Amino acid sequence: MATEMVGRVRWSAERRFFTYMTLAIFAAVYVGFARTFFLRPWFPEYAAQMSPPEPFFYFHGAIFTAWFVLLLVQPALVGLGRTDLHRALGTFGAGVALSVVVVGVIGSVTAARRPGGFIGIPLPPEQFLAIPLVDMTLFAVLVGLAIVLRRNTQAHKRLMLVGSIAILDAALARWPLAIVSTGPWPMFLLTDLFLVPLVIWDLRARGRLHPATLWGGLLLIASQPFRLWLMGTETWQTLAGRLL
């Protein structure tokens, strides 16, 4: 009986942790895009200056929002004991994840083809394009693995988290903080901070990092200097120019 009660407490704490993590991720997205998407009517001057002019980005924002809402809802459903609804939404979520990749790539190319390039980014669009396209690649790989390993609950939930953290940089770059406008590294470091609670949880609950946390986190962190190197290469700029 005592063992069973301890197990229930651990499961309850775990569910709360992953629910709070997804809530923090959703909050980061909301803060980042509040002035240009969620609360656009309340910030007309900022929105007019920083919002993309193409109507496509309303659809883009809706798809990404749907993903982060699902990310928030799914662990809450498990915590409420509605695993049946969790599994049913999982099939829909796989479709949303695919849509995120598709509209993410289209949105990145659309922004890069704009006469002024990416809004608020002084770099040539052929160079900066490496950052969002690597984001989409990481998301596709990590979330794709999470779907494949959906029966492995511990790996599944961690890969979903890390995959979603991988596309947080666009939202974090729009936080109303002066430091995020100084270059890509503050944006990357803020992104990496979202891995810290997961690392601490693993060490406290398991005594070691779960392989999904370890390798997923390392892949995300390693991708950051990689894309900065990649964008400066002549090969990338030639490929990006052909893509555009």
Closest CA to 32 of 172, 169, 192: 172
34 with 171: CB under 8 angstroms? no
160 with 150: CB under 8 angstroms? no
88 with 95: CB under 8 angstroms? no
Alpha-carbon distance values, 149 to 39, 160, 208 (Å): 37, 10, 20
Q: Cβ–Cβ contacts within 10 Å for residue 131, how many?
A: 24
pLDDT at residue 75, rounded to an integer = 81
Q: What is the pTM of this model?
A: 0.90
Return the SS3 of 163: helix
Per-residue pLDDT of the chain (244 residues; tens, 9 = 90+): 434 334 444 457 888 899 899 999 999 999 999 999 999 999 999 888 889 999 999 999 999 999 999 999 888 887 777 777 878 888 899 999 999 999 999 999 999 999 888 988 888 899 999 999 999 999 999 999 999 999 999 999 999 999 999 999 999 988 987 667 667 888 899 999 999 999 999 999 999 999 999 999 999 999 999 999 999 999 998 998 888 8
What's the Rg (C-alpha) of the chain? Answer: 19
Residues in the chain: 244
Tokens describing residue 203: 């060490």
Calpha distance 39→176 (Å, rounded): 14
State whether the Cα torsion 212-214-217-221 is positive or negative: negative
Which residue type, as a one-letter code, is found at position 45?
E
pLDDT at residue 235, rounded to an integer = 92
Tokens describing residue 132: 């969002």
Give CA 220 to chain center in angstroms. Answer: 11
Span between the terminal Cα atoms of the chain, in Å? 64
Helical (H) or strand (E) element with 57: helix 56-79
> CB within 8 A of 209, min separation 6: which ones?
199, 202, 203, 217
Q: What is the DSSP letter of 202?
A: H
Closest CA to 198 of 178, 179, 212: 212
pLDDT at residue 178, rounded to an integer = 64
pLDDT at residue 90, rounded to an integer = 84
pLDDT at residue 194, rounded to an integer = 97
pLDDT at residue 4, rounded to an integer = 39
